[in-house]
Amino acid sequence: EVQLLESGGGLVQPGGSLRLSCAASGFTFSNYAMSWVRQAPGKGLDYVSAISVGGGGTYYADSVKGRFTISRDKNTLFLQMNSLRAEDTAIYYCARGGDNYDYWGQGTLVTVSS
């Protein structure tokens, strides 16, 4: 059974940093591109970032470019988030795939507030 389990969310002050993790199991992680998608409270879905199968290709939404860094290692996906802003407050989902997403984690909540 495919499972994606996010962790690392929490409350952080504006300008702070967080590192999200997504532990993958039930499939061959190295064979799939992976992505992060976020959802602000009560709002719709927003693409954040994606990483290619080998990790050599990384892609970002304009809103996070230069502040967020996606990476992968063994069976885990990461999202390093720096210079956080109030508008980054959202549930962050890890998803399997680089374009459409056939499996999603349950998400981890990031709250940016003073």
Partner 1 sequence: EIVLTQSPGTLSLSPGERATLSCRASQIVISSYLAWYQQKPGQAPRLLIYGASNRATGIPDRFSGSGSGTDFTLTISRLEPEDFAVYYCQQYGRSPITFGQGTRLEIK
Q: Does 44 bind partner 1 (CB under 8 A)?
A: yes
Q: How many CB atoms lie within 10 A of CB 36?
A: 27
- List CB contacts of 92: < 8 A, sequence separation 6 or more: 6, 9, 20, 36, 37, 38, 48, 79, 107, 108, 109, 110
CB nearer to partner 1: pick between 59 and 80:
59
Q: Does 1 bind partner 1 (CB under 8 A)?
A: no
Whether the CA torsion 50, 86, 111, 46 is positive or negative: it is negative
Q: Which of 29, 51, 90, 105 binds partner 1 (CB under 8 A)?
A: 105
Site string for partner 1, 3-32 (x = CB under 8 A): ------------------------------
Query: Which residues would be at the binding site for partner 1 (CB under 8 A)?
Result: 37, 44-47, 50, 59, 61-62, 93, 99-107
